[in-house]
Chain A
Amino acid sequence: MAKLKPFPMPKWGIEMSEGTIAEWLVEENRPFDKGTLLTLIETDKITNEVEAEAPGRFVRIIAKAGETYPVGTLLAVLSDGGEASAAEIDAVVAAFKPADSSFEPDTPVPSPAPVPAPAATPAPPPVPDDVAISPAARARAADAGVDVTGISGSGRGGRITAQDVDQAARAPTEPHLAGPYPLSPGGTAFASPMARRLATLHAVALDEITGTGPRGRIRKADVLARLADAAPPPPAPGEITVTPMSSMRRTIARRLTEAKSTIPHFYVRRRVRADRLLALRAAVQGQRPSVNDYLVKACALALREVPRLNIQVHGTEIHRFASADIAVAVATERGLVTPIVTAADQRSLADISATMAALAQRARAGTLKLEEFTGGSFSLSNLGGFGVEQFDAIINPPQGAILAVGTARPEPIDDDGAIRIVPVLHLSLSCDHRAIDGADAGRFMVALAALIEQPELL
């Protein structure tokens, strides 16, 4: 006996309340294949084609072409292919209740996805008898309507397992990639690899932790417990703690307030593919420069190409710099500091990496010398380590521009006509419009993007 299904007026979008049958494109009782155009339905917005989701036939067409029907009205009765008696069809018509009958168009209730009319469940292709397949897999294939002939089984001798059928029934997915991490430093502490990674990530000294693992080994849980201890106790509900700003905090506040209120900022943004840069970095043996080190170098070389951004602004004077002295924002316990990699355009990557590591360490220890964080002709601020996608930075006066960099996130790009998903960096350049024009900023971004996308040039 044929399997019968109602074919009601579909609902496309929340605002559709009725539709007009423009035309039936198949005749009653004429079998059709999957994908056949069945009917044209007009709404007040569009005319849509309704395709067959599976092979079948209309055993009765109820709605007339040119007539308008509310959403959910029975338009026809579908069969999965076989013929049906008038009594069977009448039973379907009698049992039919419009799914949407209670729907009021003005109520902002999210409607179910705007799918075309439910067609007959696709007939499961029969599993051939000579296919090596487990009983459960056979049943699942029948349930899910999976054609098993295309599956190469993972069982012994290619036998198809239930897992193979499940995999075939699901659409391919792109996993979200976390990517490579820097290798955690070894050190002499007796700790598990994950404890080491966490300690590095959160700057916890392993030798201050007592391990609870076998033979006193420091475990993941020990580091996490230390982190929990170090977190300040939550203040009592309603209580507000008042702390005066440190002098460093006050300096940051004063300079940035002055910058943001007196410098006419403008921002240019651009995304660049970072897959080649990350791959190049991953291929480095031994001590790897950080992504930020590559960006310092890229900024420096781009500044050499576009020297109009390599400046300081002093009142009505513009001071142009011969070398690119890049100030890099470093977060410390006490606040933001910007140690400077001088002449970064003339340094090798390894040199920049070593210099930056030493500067960052001294910045965190608070032992930077004055000349190590004053001056500079350009700033770089990178919040990618926090998963920030994109942000705009405030210019670090008297410099003329600052680049804000987010995290490398997988995004689709146009790769020579093909869509590929690769890590993409979002760059945002803040410029002082008193000294820099949009075209200069644009040129700088072109140069910078070229360097990041072809990192062999670095």
Chain B
Amino acid sequence: MAIMNIREAISSTLMAEMERDSSIIVLGEDIVGGAGTAGGPEAIGGIWGTTPGLYAKFGADRVIDTPISESAIIGAAAGAALAGKRPVAELMFADFVGVSLDQLWNQMAKFRYMFGGKTRCPAVVRLIYGAGMNTAAQHSQSVYAMLTAMPGLKVVLPTTPADAKGLLTEALRGDDPVMFFEHKTLYGVKGEVPDGEHRQRFGEARMVREGGDATVVACGRMVNFGEKAADKLAADGIGIDLIDLRTTSPLDEEAILDSVEATGRLIVADESPPRCSLAADIAALVAAKAFTSLKAPPQMVTGPHAPIPFARELERAWVPSPQKIEDAVRRALAFR
């Protein structure tokens, strides 16, 4: 076991997998070095620092700096995947997935199905998402729910360094397009990472805390917030099952329903606006399949139905917080 942060887990996994499989290529804006730096040992490896040293090791054929054109990045990845490569495309800000939706939604997601299973599309798209860094309405959004709604895509959200390695390895070994969401505030999260090959199956949620009083379902940064809420609640003798979904497509329905059947209370924490959100999806799932187990209405902890503000204070007010998760658990417990 090595201790590293999520940034290092991702870059070391990319390095190891590219060594193992020469069909893997990476492409994206500034991924070679960063503004003003040439590729090489001194290069920071993109503004997120997740691809340092790849260019020096694998060269321009496999590590491709692209123009600022998300349509071109995703389109190139889709084509390369069809042609036998395993592309890892980076969207520096997941918000701009919008301009590449045709390539993603109508092409990548559909190839396997529309070509009668005769082709496959092993592309990994890394989307850096999330609020909390004062990056305003166009650079702070969490768009995983939108992609989760598209059949044909797998959607992955690591929250620990071990999962970052395990889930990225799994994505690179599979034959389907994987949307790999990295929260920009979580890169520094440290933890133990298994040495050697480590794969984490998709559709297998992680129990972060266990307890009998409520079920908190979360993904991404909300998992870390859920831990803080859980620890405060535990001090009052309130125990929660905190479920880290790990992947929203496929979804570990069993983990959610088993837990709600035991606790009778559901809280979903989701860093996005409430309408048509992951929170709404999971609340509906539980209402439909565990209705008789519920002791209180499902509680959704989300941002408001508004763009994410730029002002720090307002951004902080927009993002669901540990306090809001804790309040929602207490609300569910107080329901009579």
Residues of chain A having any CB pair with chain B under 8 Å = 163, 167, 170-173, 175, 177-184, 190, 192-194, 196-197, 213-214, 217, 219-220, 275, 278-279, 282-283, 410, 422-423
Contact A278 B255 (CB under 8 A): no
Contact A179 B212 (CB under 8 A): yes
A184 with B209: in contact, given A192-B255, A213-B254, A220-B258 (CB under 8 Å)? Answer: no
Contact B336 A283 (CB under 8 A): no
Nearest chain B CB to A198's CB is how many angstroms away?
Answer: 9
Residue on B with the closest CB to A178?
A: B212
11 contacts between A and B (CB under 8 A): A167-B336, A180-B237, A181-B210, A182-B210, A184-B210, A190-B204, A194-B258, A217-B254, A220-B258, A278-B234, A282-B235
Instruction: Flag whether B243 is at the interface (Cβ < 8 A).
Output: yes
Contact residues of B between 157 and 207, Cβ < 8 Å to A: 201, 203-207
Nearest chain A CB to B273's CB is how many angstroms away?
Answer: 15
Contact A181 B212 (CB under 8 A): yes
Contact B210 A180 (CB under 8 A): yes
Instruction: Flag whether B95 is at the interface (Cβ < 8 A).
Output: no
A194 with B259: in contact, given A179-B211, A179-B239, A283-B234 (CB under 8 Å)? Answer: yes
Contact A423 B237 (CB under 8 A): yes
Residues of B within 8 A of A179 (CB): 211-213, 234, 237-239
A192 with B237: in contact, given A172-B334, A173-B336, A178-B212 (CB under 8 Å)? Answer: no
Contact A279 B234 (CB under 8 A): yes
Instruction: Flag whether B231 is at the interface (Cβ < 8 A).
Output: yes
Contact residues of B between 240 and 264, Cβ < 8 Å to A: 240-241, 243, 252, 254-255, 258-259, 262-263
How many angstroms from the CA of A180 to the CA of B214 in the assembled complex? 10
Nearest chain B CB to A271's CB is how many angstroms away?
Answer: 16
Residues of A within 8 A of B201 (CB): 190
Residues of B within 8 A of A275 (CB): 236-237
Chain B CB within 10 Å — which of A175, A177, A184, A214 has the most?
A: A175
Nearest chain A CB to B296's CB is how many angstroms away?
Answer: 9
Contact B231 A193 (CB under 8 A): no
Nearest chain B CB to A178's CB is how many angstroms away?
Answer: 3
A183 with B213: in contact, given A172-B334, A193-B258, A193-B259 (CB under 8 Å)? Answer: no
> What are the 9 closest A-B residue pairs judged by CB atoms, nearest first?
A178-B212, A282-B234, A180-B239, A194-B258, A279-B235, A181-B210, A180-B211, A179-B239, A193-B207
What is the interface residue range for chain B against chain A? 35 or more
Residues of A within 8 A of B333 (CB): 175, 177
Mask: chain B, 48-69; 1 = CB below 8 Å from A; 0 = not: 0000000000000000000000
Residues of B within 8 A of A181 (CB): 210-212, 239
Contact residues of B between 299 and 336, Cβ < 8 Å to A: 333-336
How many angstroms from the CA of A214 to the CA of B251 in the assembled complex? 12
Residues of A within 8 A of B132 (CB): none
Contact residues of B between 119 and 167, Cβ < 8 Å to A: none
A283 with B235: in contact, given A163-B297, A177-B213, A183-B210 (CB under 8 Å)? Answer: yes
A178 with B255: in contact, given A167-B335, A193-B205, A422-B237 (CB under 8 Å)? Answer: no
Contact A197 B238 (CB under 8 A): no
How many angstroms from the CA of A278 to the CA of B334 in the assembled complex? 22
How many angstroms from the CA of A183 to the CA of B336 in the assembled complex? 29
Chain B CB within 10 Å — which of A197, A278, A282 has the most?
A: A282
How many angstroms from the CA of A22 to the CA of B213 in the assembled complex? 52
Residues of B within 8 A of A219 (CB): 254
A193 with B255: in contact, given A163-B297, A180-B239, A181-B239 (CB under 8 Å)? Answer: yes
Residues of B within 8 A of A213 (CB): 254
Residues of B within 8 A of A279 (CB): 234-237
Nearest chain B CB to A456's CB is how many angstroms away?
Answer: 14
Residue on A with the closest CB to B243?
A: A193
Nearest chain B CB to A101's CB is how many angstroms away?
Answer: 38
How many angstroms from the CA of A52 to the CA of B207 in the assembled complex? 55
Residue on B with the closest CB to A282?
A: B234
Other-chain residue from B212, B231, B335 in contact with A283 (beta carbon distance below 8 A): B231
What 13 additional pairs, Cβ within 8 angstroms, besides A178-B213, A275-B236, A279-B237?
Answer: A167-B335, A178-B211, A178-B239, A179-B212, A179-B238, A180-B238, A181-B211, A182-B210, A193-B206, A193-B259, A217-B254, A278-B234, A282-B234
